[in-house]
C-alpha cells in the first residue's frame, strides 16, 4: 500500500514536471512572446537580442522593420540581405532603392508613409531561403507587426514571402497580380525588387500590380 501511494506520488510528481515543462515551453514560445506586445516598440523590446532560431548566429543587426506605425500600406519581403544586415534596416541596398522608387516615384508616397518588414528578421547565410523552423520562430513577430500596424493592404514581395504568407506552392507568376488575403488583410503578391534588377523587362508587370494597389487605396475597384 505504501509502495502504491509512493508510486502514485511519483506519477503525479512526474506529471507536474511534464506540465511545468509544457507551461515553460508555452511561456517561451514565439507566439506567446509576440502576443505580449501592445506597440511596435514593445514588440521590438520583446524580440530583444533574439536567439529563437539559428539565424541569430550570423547576423550583424536584427532587422525589425521601419515606417509609419499606422501605415495603410505594408510591404513584406523575405529577409535581410547583406546591406540590410549591416545597416539594420530593411530594403536599403540596390533592391531597396528600387522599392523606394516604386513607393516614391511610382505611388507618389514617401518611404516613411508605408511600413516595411520581412518574414525573418535576421540574414540567412549566403542569402539562402529561410528554413521552415526559422519561419516558424520568426513569423509570429511579423503577424504581430501586421496586427499592430493594421494596414489596409499588404504587398508581398517575391516568391518566398508570397508562398510563405499564403501557405501556397503555386508559382508567383500565377499568384501575382491577383488579390489574396492574409490574416484578414488584402494581400497583393508581386515580384521582388531584386528579381527586377535581374529581369528589368518584368518591371511593367510589377507596375500593373502596383496600379491595382493604388486603385484599391483610392477606394476604386481594381
Ligand atoms: S530570424 Fe527571427 S526568430 Fe530567428 S533569431 Fe532572428 S529575430 Fe529571432
pLDDT tens, position by position, 113-152: 999 999 999 999 998 999 999 999 999 999 999 999 999 9
- Please tell me the distance from the alpha carbon of residue 62 to that of residue 56, in angstroms, as a whole number: 8
Q: Would you call 49 helix, strand, or coil by DSSP?
A: coil
**Strand 185-190 relative to strand 180-182: parallel, antiparallel, unpaired?**
antiparallel
Q: Residue 93, Cα to own-chain centre: how many angstroms? A: 18
pLDDT at 28 over 80: no
Decide which of 13 and 36 is more confident: 36
pLDDT (mean) for 179-197: 97
Going by alpha carbons, the residue nearest to atom 7 of ligand 1 is 121
Lookup: cell for 185: 488583410
Residue 104 gets which letter from DSSP?
Answer: I
Which atom of ligand 1 lies at the shortest distance from residue 51's CA?
5
pLDDT at 209 over 60: yes
Distance 168 CA to ligand 1 centre (A): 22
Distance 222 CA to ligand 1 centre (A): 36
pLDDT (mean) for 87-104: 97
Amino acid at each position: 500500500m505504501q509502495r502504491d501511494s509512493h508510486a502514485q506520488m511519483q506519477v503525479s510528481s512526474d506529471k507536474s514536471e511534464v506540465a511545468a515543462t509544457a507551461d515553460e515551453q508555452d511561456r517561451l514560445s514565439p507566439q506567446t512572446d509576440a502576443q505580449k506586445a501592445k506597440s511596435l516598440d514593445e514588440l521590438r523590446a520583446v524580440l530583444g537580442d533574439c536567439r529563437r532560431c539559428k539565424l541569430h548566429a550570423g547576423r550583424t543587426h536584427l532587422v525589425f522593420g521601419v515606417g509609419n506605425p499606422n501605415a495603410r500600406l505594408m510591404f513584406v519581403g523575405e529577409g535581410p540581405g547583406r546591406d540590410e544586415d549591416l545597416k539594420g534596416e530593411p530594403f536599403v541596398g540596390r533592391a531597396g532603392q528600387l522599392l523606394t522608387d516604386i513607393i516614391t516615384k511610382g505611388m507618389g508616397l514617401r518611404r516613411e508613409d508605408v511600413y516595411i518588414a520581412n518574414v525573418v528578421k535576421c540574414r540567412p547565410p549566403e542569402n539562402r531561403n529561410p528554413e521552415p523552423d526559422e519561419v516558424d520562430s520568426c513569423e509570429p513577430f511579423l503577424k504581430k507587426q501586421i496586427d499592430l500596424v493594421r494596414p489596409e493592404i499588404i504587398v508581398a514581395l517575391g516568391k518566398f514571402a508570397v508562398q510563405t504568407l499564403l501557405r501556397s506552392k503555386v508559382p508567383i507568376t500565377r499568384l501575382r497580380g491577383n488579390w489574396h488575403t492574409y490574416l484578414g488583410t488584402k494581400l497583393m503578391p508581386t515580384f521582388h525588387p531584386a528579381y527586377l534588377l535581374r529581369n528589368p523587362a518584368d518591371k511593367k508587370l510589377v507596375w500593373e500590380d502596383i496600379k491595382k494597389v493604388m486603385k484599391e487605396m483610392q477606394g476604386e475597384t481594381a
